[in-house]
Structure 1
């Protein structure tokens, strides 16, 4: 930098503004992650799956779930992406049964839980979702959920141990329809999403900014975002204005999305916001953000980016503090020696006897690059307590193996990984019990299998 009489020269002014805008682009990438992830799913719902506005789609098998960030391979998902500006007040209705879910705004903040952890407490109910600014509604027989955003995510997962029975008996009772004071509109039953190539992963390159611009143009301005919106207008992202970046802005945006994603990777896989869950291990909470993304004195930024870079959706049940209720996710990206997990190497995870769960547990391997289930010849990314042919040790413990090929005789306890690609693991506790919370039961690190 050069100065004359204390003032920056013209070249230095240009350099400083370029640097300011580059830094803002990097932070805007992190800021936009949760909304861009849902916006990509919103577009897929309409353009790939051909769904009507608010129509509930079921994602039941491996191929249907391939586009989702870190899905659970085991549990069926039924959900919708809803445009409240188009629909007006809208109802999502669920039957009584073992299911859990949520209603979220475009920033993936929880507006209401649903199912066994929601106000219906597993008895079924009608959730009436109101558009931004809608007058207060008193509707007997409905759980009224005001939304601050035009786009809403609403969905549940089925938790019954008999998956086929749950699909057969519960999905027909999941439906959605518009609502008015004079009564409900046309009812839309749930249908299969279908085996189509799709992804809700935030895109790379200029496509990321185009998707973020769609969010900015579609959604109401929220007070907490005004400062960032004021900064990124110098990058061509401004409410009620066309997104047409000039050459300078485009170059900065292209650089910003590369460095922004690198920051997101570090912030997710090497979380400085979270200590190890079991002291001395590599395991940390995967979900480190609260349901409203707020803490006393500040709104969560790094925590929000850490979760939504590699995952989608959140609910109060996923942060349960009540033994036997909800679920918890613990993640690992490194082996016992501190090396990143490598798809070309062989590993073993020793799961001690009596995992602290009321419902079930599973451990799933995900692709580092896409944060989705890896596509392998095996066609299954997880091992869990509901796998009927799993081999158990004499003391009740279970050894799970990861690698490109199965160790001899360990095929039923093996998850295939892809050489040349990194991966990470989620260990899910469904209905975690007291030994999980008091940490009297602990999961050791993933180790190289020699």
Structure 2
């Protein structure tokens, strides 16, 4: 109950000090009312003047305050629900746009395939699928031996388990059994058993073998089927995006809330999320109930989605989280700033802005994606500003030098993204991406690599990534299989430097 919430620490954490309430019945607010009369006071706020009668809000004041209260709730709920709605948007893209059934796997190969995805790597093959544990029963995932990295996630994009190199099989392959929330325990020798907190789950993996044919052949060996089909498992269907247009970015209008409502039509609500849905209830959104907002509710939810998107954008690109900067004096930041349980190490707070930053820009999270395993997994660094601290501008030209001896066991890559869609930057060049696996990558005599960014290719430049005038962009630098030199920071990535004013 609210009386048990740590209100004082919360206010102090927001930089607020408790002070006596003033203005409501303060001297000078209104002349004393005559005996039997009504005292009207006016309080000056950021919402304008709010009138009170004998300390009670007038009808106009109450309406204004409720509108503001509900708008504030909608903006904060927008930030909170980013991973859940991102999951649902991706599901709808696969099921409705691509027509892929639960349990079948969709392959994403090219730039066109991944154009609708949040911050994908263009270098590696992706394979995604969905499953409904309530409707289809427990899920079996057979993982082949080889160079793959992936996982099974719940609807909040929290990992149920990693698979492949960073999973319990450590690249040797094996069978995984995913159970629904609640229900009886299952004894299954030979299976690694995990229980999902949600009915709907997502499977995703990447092929990491240097040879693309080998990578795809390995990925295609994954098998997904129901536990009740284990005696005679059906073949897993594989489909291809094939360059078809699609989009999975979270909406910035009323559709955001429709997706959240649809996602929770038949899902348990975790204790941590009950406050979220409690805040949304006055706006017509309650798990398991039809979503039919009235005109006022729809107006506030629409505005909340618009403002929430702008807030998320600010949180992602203008980070204020302590420790976000990777190298002192430089502008590379950690893209992943939260733990898997999305709580601070001392378990005293949820990492609210940290999770908002990542899930506004990206999809999925796993042990391997946390960037904390020497030799395995991935590290994600991002930059949206140049060496001067100015926003990266698609109409200007920049240079970045990747020092020799990049600390990776597998490869590194740099990819540019549109700062509005968060998808790959689409230009006439094609993929706005360059990696150490690029066959014609040009290196300097000392082994370093110069990368040029700009709207026009300089004469003789090979390591060039095209940008678009009038568009902002940001970059992800990925380390696949980061080695000790990355963690010790004895090897450091250079800033992106302006070469054309």
Fold match (TM-score > 0.5): yes
Tell me, yes or no, if structure 1 residue 440 matches structure 2 residue 490.
yes
Asked if 1 retains the 8 angstrom alpha-carbon contact of 2:138 and 2:179, the reply is: yes
Asked if 2 retains the 8 angstrom alpha-carbon contact of 1:174 and 1:190, the reply is: no
Aligned to 1:348: 399
- Write the distance in 2 (CA, Å) between the matches of 1:373 and 1:182: 39
- Write the distance in 2 (CA, Å) between the matches of 1:171 and 1:157: 7
- Write the distance in 2 (CA, Å) between the matches of 1:264 and 1:413: 32
CA drift at 1:185 = 4.1
- TM-score normalised per structure 1: 0.97
Q: Any idea what SS the aligned residue of 1:127 has?
A: strand
Aligned to 1:16: 65
Aligned to 1:316: 367
Aligned to 1:326: 377
Between stretches 361-370 and 80-89, larger displacement belongs to 80-89
Q: Any idea what SS the aligned residue of 2:415 has?
A: strand
- Structure 1 residues 277 and 432: CA distance shift in structure 2, 3 A: same
Aligned to 1:109: 158
Aligned to 1:293: 342
- Write the distance in 2 (CA, Å) between the matches of 1:98 and 1:185: 24
Aligned to 2:10: none
CA drift at 1:314 = 1.0
Between stretches 422-431 and 250-259, larger displacement belongs to 250-259
Tell me, yes or no, if structure 1 residue 207 matches structure 2 residue 258.
no
- Write the distance in 2 (CA, Å) between the matches of 1:355 and 1:162: 21
Aligned to 1:260: 308
Aligned to 1:375: 426
Tell me, yes or no, if structure 1 residue 269 matches structure 2 residue 320.
no
Alignment counterpart, residue 478 of structure 2, candidates 407, 413, 428: 428
Aligned to 1:237: 285
- Write the distance in 2 (CA, Å) between the matches of 1:57 and 1:331: 27
Aligned to 1:55: 104
- Write the distance in 2 (CA, Å) between the matches of 1:86 and 1:254: 32
- Write the distance in 2 (CA, Å) between the matches of 1:406 and 1:33: 37
- Structure 1 residues 190 and 339: CA distance shift in structure 2, 3 A: same
Tell me, yes or no, if structure 1 residue 119 matches structure 2 residue 168.
yes
- TM-score normalised per structure 2: 0.87
Alignment counterpart, residue 3 of structure 1, candidates 44, 52, 57: 52
CA offsets per residue over residues 36-87 of structure 1, 9 Å max, x none? Answer: 1110111122112211211112111211111111000001111212122221
Aligned to 2:222: 174
Q: Any idea what SS the aligned residue of 2:312 has?
A: helix
Q: Any idea what SS the aligned residue of 2:187 has?
A: coil
- Write the distance in 1 (CA, Å) between the matches of 2:209 and 2:220: 15
Q: Please, which runs of 5 or more residues in structure 2 have no aligned partner?
A: 1-49
Aligned to 2:410: 359
Alignment counterpart, residue 149 of structure 1, candidates 186, 191, 198: 198
Aligned to 1:449: 499
Q: Any idea what SS the aligned residue of 2:292 has?
A: coil
Aligned to 1:396: 447
Asked if 1 retains the 8 angstrom alpha-carbon contact of 2:130 and 2:202, the reply is: yes
Q: Any idea what SS the aligned residue of 1:360 has?
A: strand
- Structure 1 residues 181 and 375: CA distance shift in structure 2, 3 A: closer
- Write the distance in 2 (CA, Å) between the matches of 1:174 and 1:193: 18
**1:189-200 counterparts in 2 under 5 A?**
189-200=237-248
Aligned to 2:29: none
Between stretches 107-116 and 203-212, larger displacement belongs to 203-212
- Write the distance in 2 (CA, Å) between the matches of 1:8 and 1:209: 30
- Structure 1 residues 352 and 9: CA distance shift in structure 2, 3 A: same
Q: How many residues are aligned here? A: 448
**1:12-91 counterparts in 2 under 5 A?**
12-91=61-140
CA offsets per residue over residues 286-345 of structure 1, 9 Å max, x none? Answer: 111222212211222211111010100111111243321211010000111111111111
Q: Any idea what SS the aligned residue of 2:188 has?
A: coil
